[in-house]
Structure 1
Amino acid sequence: MDQAERVERFLAERYPHAGIAIVAGSTAREERTHTSDIDLLLIDDGLFADEAQVSEAATHEFEGEIFEVFAYTTEGFREWADRGVAQHRPVILHMLVEGIPVRSTTGFGELRAQWDAVLAAGPVLSERESLLRRHVITDLLDDLQDATDPLEQHVVAGLLFERMAELMLLVGRQWIGSGKWLPRRLRAWSPERADRLSTPLLAGDFPGLAARVGQELELAGGRVQAGFVR
């Protein structure tokens, strides 16, 4: 990782007490572009001057690079990691497990192994959440099939793709993502099903998208409409 020395200089200036520091994202994967920032996960009980503070998400400019910092005390990390797991989108756990450590403590290996097991197990979709997600998709599907305004069609189609992709992943015990990470996770899990869902969307084929979503919805348990109580 060619950014290691710059990262260490940044830490020395901005977060000198960080015991655990992990570079994640495109920098760790060596897939940087001209707009890439440096994602940095920090964990240490001595990070903040205010003893009541347990977390911080901050953007810094340093030596011409943008650093996106996610900093936590030990308890703060556990709290936010649990929250991410409950939401099926544990971003900081992926950073911890998949990133490159540039600083570590004696307990780092154990911490990483603990949360790696959680990631490997995958999310659990409750029956209640399944019903709610299928209800939302059912409504969006009907909206798309009824829409005639081109702007409405494009907006609803985008939302429908997102909600269906999330449900497909969750039924398959896969973590979801937001933005660019949703299609990436869908493709990593099943390139074929990702392609079948995305092809009509990219072509502006709204009837084709509706048909494909209907097929995936049946695989996930079917439509939910009349009788559903939120």
Structure 2
Amino acid sequence: MATPSRPNPEKAAQLVIEKHFPNCQAALLAGSVVRGEGTSTSDLDIVIFDQVLPSSYRESFIDFGWYIECFVHNFSSYKEFFESDRAQAKPSMPKMVSEGIIIRDANIVNMVKQEANELLQKGPDKWSSETIDMKRYFLTDVLDDFKGCSKREEAIFLANTLAELSIEFILRMNRQWIGSSKWTIRALKNYNAELAKDFIVALEEFYQKNEKEKIIQFVEEAVEPFGGLLFDGFSMGKNKC
């Protein structure tokens, strides 16, 4: 990843720490460059720990030839982000800490890494029966719209929604972490590579040939082990009235 105009990621991270956060106690280099997935447009994700900060913040800038994103915490504020990520089942901060390469340490990083690893290994909370029914209902509703949709531009957006909802359903029903954007399919691939491949084939058939059948089949098979599609008899909030 190094070029004549910029240092390699680890050296660049060290330079960033020395220039922008010289008094921090600890720092980690994380993100795609650490996982070996970096591209020409990848940035550097750097997690900073500074005990004198009153609160966390995020900062982006360009330096040393790199786009850089810094996630800056004190020794307790990162816990709030761990908990928020856990509640959303999208463990962005725990993954960065777990995967991160130590750039600077003051006998805190291994402890934080242990917390991150324990959270990741535990997995997200199990959905309640009410949440499962609600997710089945919304999948059913979007799928019905998709089946009957005759306008290509609307069907494209419905297919995208089905992709997000069905992958979320599969992963959460199997106590797996989820993701957003490109992390949606990566999360499914990490859980079941063959299933992810099948869904990509289904999407490609729709996008290229306007054939809906494989997407419909994928969604129906996703919910079938958990009661199947749900419309008739569904209720939400009725007991509160």
Distance in 1, Cα, partners of 2:35 & 2:86: 23
TM-score (norm 2): 0.87
Report what 1:170 is aligned to.
172
Equivalent residues in 2 for 1:26-41, closer than 5 Å: 26-41=32-47
Other structure's SS at 1:102 match: strand
Q: Secondary structure at the match of 1:68?
A: strand
Residue 85 in structure 1 maps to residue 92 in structure 2:
no
How far off its partner does 1:99 sit?
Answer: 1.6
> Residues 167-198 of structure 1, C-alpha deviation per residue, up to 9 Å, x if partnerless?
11111111001111111111111011112222
Give the Cα–Cα distance (whole angstroms) in 2 for the partners of residues 82 and 229 of structure 1.
27
- Counterpart of 2:195 in structure 1: which amino acid? R
3-state SS, counterpart of residue 66 of structure 1: strand
CA contact (8 A) 2:95 2:116 kept: no
2:5 matched residue in structure 1: none
What corresponds to 1:150 in structure 2?
152
Range with bigger deviation, 201-210 or 220-229: 220-229
Alpha-carbon separation, structure 1, partners of 2:90 and 2:156: 26
* Identity across the alignment (%): 26
Give the CA deviation at 1:132: 2.4
Give the whole-Å Cα distance in 1 for the aligned partners of 2:106 and 2:134.
Answer: 42
AA partner of residue 207 (structure 1): E
1:24 aligns with 2:30: yes
Say which SS state the counterpart of residue 76 (structure 2) adopts: helix
Contact conserved, 1:20 with 1:42, CA < 8 A, in 2?
yes
Query: Which one-letter code corresponds to 2:57 in the other structure?
Result: E
What SS class does the counterpart of residue 89 from structure 1 fall into? coil
* Long gaps (5+) in structure 2: 2-7
In structure 2, what is the Cα distance between the partners aligned to 1:9 and 1:96?
20
Q: Report matched runs for 1:1-230 at 5 Å.
A: 2-46=8-52, 48=53, 51=54, 54-127=55-128, 128-204=130-206, 205-225=211-231, 226-230=233-237
Measured in 2, the distance between the counterparts of 1:228 and 1:202 equals 35
Range moving further from structure 2, 159-168 or 13-22: 13-22
TM-score (norm 1): 0.91
> How many angstroms does 1:161 deviate by?
0.8
Task: Give the residue type in structure 2 aligned to 1:103.
Answer: R
- Aligned equivalents of 1:146, 1:43: Cα separation in 2: 53
Q: How far apart are residue 92 of structure 1 and its match?
A: 0.4
Can you list the C-alpha shifts for 1:135-176, whole angstroms capped at 9, x where unaligned? 221111111011110011111001101110111111111100
Q: Unpaired segments of 5 or more residues in structure 1? A: none
Name the count of aligned residue pairs.
225
Larger radius of gyration: 2
Q: Which amino acid aligns with 1:182?
A: T
Distance in 2 of aligned mates of 1:188 and 1:63? 33
- Aligned to 1:74, the other structure's residue is in SS state coil
SS at match of 2:102: strand
What stretches of structure 1 move > 4 A for 4+ residues in a row?
Answer: none
Closer, same or farther: CA 220–23 of 1 in aligned 2, 3 Å: farther
